[in-house]
Copies of this chain bind each other. A is one copy, B any other.
Amino acid sequence: MIMRKNKKITRTRMIFARNLRKFRTIRKLSQEDLAELADLHRTYIGSVERGERNISIDNMERLAKALGLRVLDLVREEPE
């Protein structure tokens, strides 16, 4: 667990958040672009990328699909 803004953020949330931002920027998509592709709200994407949301498995899949990835790719921790 990592503390951030007084909220506990689990390890998997942080990995997901980091990967989401990484792949979104690699694809040169804004948060708004990705929101449109995934049919989610732009502010929701922002909060997921900050690890603030306890995102559901269905929304994880929507975001992965919008990026042409599998959920697997978004929860994979990379060697630093």
A residues whose Cβ falls under 8 Å from a Cβ of B? 10-13, 16, 54-58, 60-61, 64, 70-72, 75-77
Is B75 a contact partner of A16 (Cβ separation < 8 A)?
Answer: no
In the complex the two chains form, what is the Cα distance from A76 to B71 in whole Å? 9
**Prevailing SS type, chain A contact patch:** helix
- Chain B residues near A71 (CB-CB < 8 A): 12, 75
Query: What residue in chain B is nearest A17 (Cβ atoms)?
Result: B57
- Chain B residues near A55 (CB-CB < 8 A): 56-57
Q: Which 8 A-B pairs rank lowest in CB-CB distance, beginning with the nearest? A: A12-B61, A54-B56, A12-B71, A71-B75, A54-B58, A10-B61, A55-B57, A10-B58
- Chain B residues near A57 (CB-CB < 8 A): 10, 12-13, 16, 54-57, 60
